[in-house]
Amino acid sequence: MKLFMKISLNKILLFLLIFITNLTYAQNRIYKSYWNYNISLASTHFMSDLGGKGTLGTNDISDINFSSTRFGLGTGFQYNSPSGISIGFDLITARLYGSDSKTNSNRRYRNLHSRTDIFETTTKITYTHFKSGFYFNVGAGICFFKPMAKLNNKWYKLRPLKTEGQGIDPEKSNYDKYTPVIPFGIWKKFYLNNKISIAVDLSLRKTFTDYLDDVSTTYHDKQEIRNHTGDIAAELSDQSFGDNGIGRTGSI
């Protein structure tokens, strides 16, 4: 029996890049400890199994489709010491998007897409160089995610549909609704006065799931999915087109 792959990499390293503007209220930032809170606006991108550049899929930034940019909003607070070391807690909600229609490679025949809403909580340690305004941070957190796909102008949650045969194939169990994340970033603060600063932040996330887009391993028999989970699950599990199964071959 021929095995059709959905992806070109067994396990892909996924990133979430966030460009954030922070509005920070603080007092005497250099001479004593203080608390601040922030409001964050973000543009979001991620290393999805879907879309990508017009060659074999990779794990580098060049494989991002910037036309799939979506947005997010967040808030948080920090405790800052005079040494420049800070510890903070952040909440962010955002949307991710990936689609095979965005690539010029033969993956476009696979014809899958995903819109994923996320809610993330993180704790980060930040070091700020006060004179230059540059800083970097690293931390840990949890990201809850909900991939969806569109069929006949209606969006459906993909996890309950078990589009790769989870629950039918005894070797496949359904994936979790959340993943640990390791956030890390670097950029620059601009101090408007002693109480307010604006920061532009490039922040990446290492996740520990291959299912942010609901796509990871192999296709399951479409008719079995139809019999087990229904017509919608079957149609969203395999939307490929092209001759000789070209859309179902993940090594292209």
Q: How does pLDDT run across 62-82, given as a tens digit for each residue?
A: 677 778 889 889 999 999 898
Q: Is 244 exposed, middle or buried (0-12, 13-18, 19+ CB in 10 A)?
A: exposed
Three-state SS at 163: coil
Confidence of residue 3 (pLDDT cuts 50, 70, 90): very low
CA distance 159 to 225: 13
Q: How many CB atoms lie within 10 A of CB 60?
A: 10
Question: Both tokens of residue 88?
Answer: 């903070």
Say which range, 23-27, 193-197, 231-235, 239-243, has the weakest mean pLDDT.
23-27
Residue 5, strand partner residues: 218
- The rounded distance, in Å, linking the Cα atoms of 246 and 143 is 34
Lowest mean pLDDT, pick from 54-58, 89-93, 99-103: 54-58
Residue 104 has pLDDT above 90, yes or no: no
Provide the phi-psi class of 234: left if phi over 0, else alpha when psi is between -120 and 50, else beta: alpha
Lowest mean pLDDT among 13-17, 74-78, 138-142: 13-17
Residue 125 pLDDT greater than 90, yes or no: yes
